[in-house]
Each structure stands twice: as structure tokens, then as C-alpha cells.
Structure 1
Amino acid sequence: MTSFATGRMLLTPADRDGPARAERLRRLDLGERPDASFDSFDAFADKVAEVTASPFSMVNFIDENRQFFAGLHTPAGNRGGKDIGAVAAGGNRYMARDHGYCPHVVVRRKALVLDDVCDYPRFAGNPVVDDIGVRSYLGAPLIDRTGIALGTVCAVDTVPRPWGRAGLDTIKSLAQELVRQIDHREGYRHP
């Protein structure tokens, strides 16, 4: 658990795989600096938003200390990240590790469906609820061929959403599709 500047306690899970994930992200050249491939991650985030009919979607890589939005879709089309409270530094879009729900997905290594985040005390107090207006979340882990959860693909809305089983199946399928692209980037071919 960590304490946020406002004094509320955040229940961000302990991340024992953080160092291995950070090393794997470095080997894949993901999360350190933007490059031409991040355009493809933005395009993938656009696809997630379209498929889920969500105003916000992200491709998110998580190291030990922060989240990096390699792919970002916002209603205003702002790729800088201000719409989601991300800090832009050197062309990168970062957010603290204890903001949002993606760190939970990575640590759990399972998809997370929150029809209304306010129904869950553990998640209702997250800064993204007040700062961005997040009310619903749908995310799945990006588990690569080595078994490391690199990050997430997620859809977010500012109103409660009954994602249902169809939403869960959709986000998991999108995550698998993106993992195949990441593996292909590394030169690995799926059988």
C-alpha cells in the first residue's frame, strides 16, 4: 500500500515481478523512449476504443515505478496524455504506478472488469476517479512469450458500463492480438 498526497490510502498491490518486467521492457526497447512503433500502439489504442465504444483506451507498459502509455486514445484525440492526467516527458506519457487499475491487472495476471468503480471501495478511492472522472474499466494483461506480464490493454469510460462477458472476451482477445504483435517485433514467430 502507498499513501497518496491527499492522505488517502491506495491499495496498490505489491509487485514482485517489477524488476524482471522492467528488464524485459528494456530488452524489448519498450517504455524508455518513443519511437516509430509507438504510432502502431496509438493505432491499436484507437482500435480498442472503436471495438469497445469507449472514449479512452490505452496500451500501457508498467515498470517498477510508473506506467507508460505507449498507445493512447482520448475523445479529443490528444496524444499528449493530459486528458488522462499523464505527465509528458521527452515525448513519453507517464503516470504514477499507484494511479489507475492497470497495475492491479499486471500483478494479478488476469483481466479486470469494473462496471462501476464506485461499487468497489478498493478502487473507488483511486485518484483517476476524481482527477479524470473514471467510472468503468476493462483491462487485460499483456503476457508475452516469456510469461512476463509487460503491461495492459484497457478501455475506460466516464460512465458506468455493463461490460459483461462479451467485454471480457473482447479485451482478452485484443490483448492476445497485441502480444502477438510484440512477439513479432522481437522476431518470435507463433506456432
Structure 2
Amino acid sequence: MSYDPPRPAGRLLLTPEDEEAPARTRRLRRLGLGERPEPALDAFADRLAELAGAPYAMVNFIGEERQFFAGLHTPDGGAAARGGKPALGRRLPREYGYCPHVVVRRKALVLEDVRDYPRFAGNPAVDEYGIRSYLGAPLIDTTGMVLGTVCVADLAPRPWGKAGLETIKATAADLVVRLDRPSADGLP
């Protein structure tokens, strides 16, 4: 499968086509993921945010029509909006953010300042939530299916660097093993 960059549509940029979305949706249902918050995945996102020193961390499962943060860490627990921006909730349309790009690319994405990348700068996550920096890696299970992502985001540009990239890839690899082998840690 090849990766075609999103095509411009006015100011907003289209999310890449995701031919695996129907199969991913079925796989997520079989695994019992992507429909409800998971306390173990919230705890995972909390640890990831602390490790990365980022205000946002997510475990994101992407279906055909939407994204669902089964694990979510936000400033103030997501209880309040920040700087006039709405609070990030558990669900987002597919065209928001950068995780759909990670899923289609099947590899990590580092955006130290999203405004430096014309194809990403016009994303609704920038205007609506103030996201300026993103680091994400795919969750590829033992069947080769990309289930979603683990990611962190910040409201300011961040020099994630090689250490950040290695960290996000390692956390994704760790989590996908746990998703494939449900255990006593509370994962489905």
C-alpha cells in the first residue's frame, strides 16, 4: 500500500483514504476496543504524558467514521477548556488531527511545529484545540493490522528529537503486545 499525501481542499487538508478502515473496525470490535474508555489505557496515557512531558497523550483507535481515545490524558483531566479552546473529548471526526495519517502511513510521525508543514498546518486540531506539536506511532498488531496510534501533543512547538521518536515507538510496541494478550492489567 502506498501513501499519498492529502490533497488540499481550500484551507483544510483532506485526510488520506484508509482502505483498511472496515477491516480495522471489525478487528477492534472483536478485541472489544474503541467503543468505551478503558481505565488501563487512561493510566497508560497518563504515564506516556509524564514520560514525554506533554499535556496531551492518547491511545487512539480509528474506525471508518471517527477516532476514539480509549486512553486519554489532558491538562486538568479534560474538565475545562484552555485559552478559549474547547476541551478535547474522547471522540473526534477522522479529519481531525494527525493519527489518521500515522495509520495510513504505518509509521511514526513527528511534527515539532505543525505550522512548518503546509499539508498539516490547516488541520482543524490546530484551530479548534490549539495543537502545535505532535508525535505519534502506529499500533500494529500480530495480524499486521494497524489498530490505531499512541501519541502525544502540545500547545507549543516541541523539539521531540530522536529520543522522542524512539520513546513513542517503544511505547506503541509495548502497548500492542498487551492488546494482543489481554491480561490482569485491565485491558480487554
Equivalent in the alignment of 1:142 = 139
Q: Distance in 1 between matches of 2:115 and 2:101?
A: 16
**1:37-186 equivalences in 2 (<5 Å):** 38-78=38-78, 83-84=87-88, 86=89, 93-185=90-182
- Give deviations 1:13-39, integer Å, cap 9, x for gaps: 0101111101100110111234xxx00
RMSD of aligned C-alpha atoms?
Answer: 2.1
Matched AA of 2:124: P
- How many residues were matched structurally? 175
Matched AA of 1:41: L
Given that 1:60 and 1:151 are in contact with CA atoms closer than 8 Å, whether structure 2 keeps it comes out as yes
Q: TM-score, normalised by structure 2?
A: 0.87
Q: Tell me, yes or no, if structure 1 residue 32 matches structure 2 residue 35.
A: yes
- Give deviations 1:108-134, integer Å, cap 9, x for gaps: 000000000000011000011011110
Q: Distance in 2 between matches of 1:138 and 1:123?
A: 13
Matched AA of 1:110: K
Matched AA of 2:97: G
Deviation for aligned residue 1:11: 2.4
Quick one: structure 1 residues 13 and 50, their matched pair in 2 at CA, closer, same or farther if it must change by over 3 Å?
Answer: same
Q: TM-score, normalised by structure 1?
A: 0.86
> Identity of aligned pairs, percent?
62
Quick one: structure 1 residues 49 and 132, their matched pair in 2 at CA, closer, same or farther if it must change by over 3 Å?
Answer: same
Q: Tell me, yes or no, if structure 1 residue 16 matches structure 2 residue 13.
A: no
Secondary structure at the residue paired with 2:70?
strand
Deviation for aligned residue 1:185: 1.3
* Structure 1 portions without partners, runs of 5+: 87-92
Secondary structure at the residue paired with 1:44?
helix
Equivalent in the alignment of 2:3 = none
Secondary structure at the residue paired with 1:185?
coil
Deviation for aligned residue 1:184: 1.1
Q: Distance in 1 between matches of 2:74 and 2:183?
A: 28
Secondary structure at the residue paired with 1:51?
helix
Q: Distance in 2 between matches of 1:56 and 1:105?
A: 17
Given that 2:12 and 2:124 are in contact with CA atoms closer than 8 Å, whether structure 1 keeps it comes out as no
Matched AA of 1:179: V
Deviation for aligned residue 1:186: 7.9
Given that 1:2 and 1:9 are in contact with CA atoms closer than 8 Å, whether structure 2 keeps it comes out as no
Q: Distance in 1 between matches of 2:15 and 2:106?
A: 14
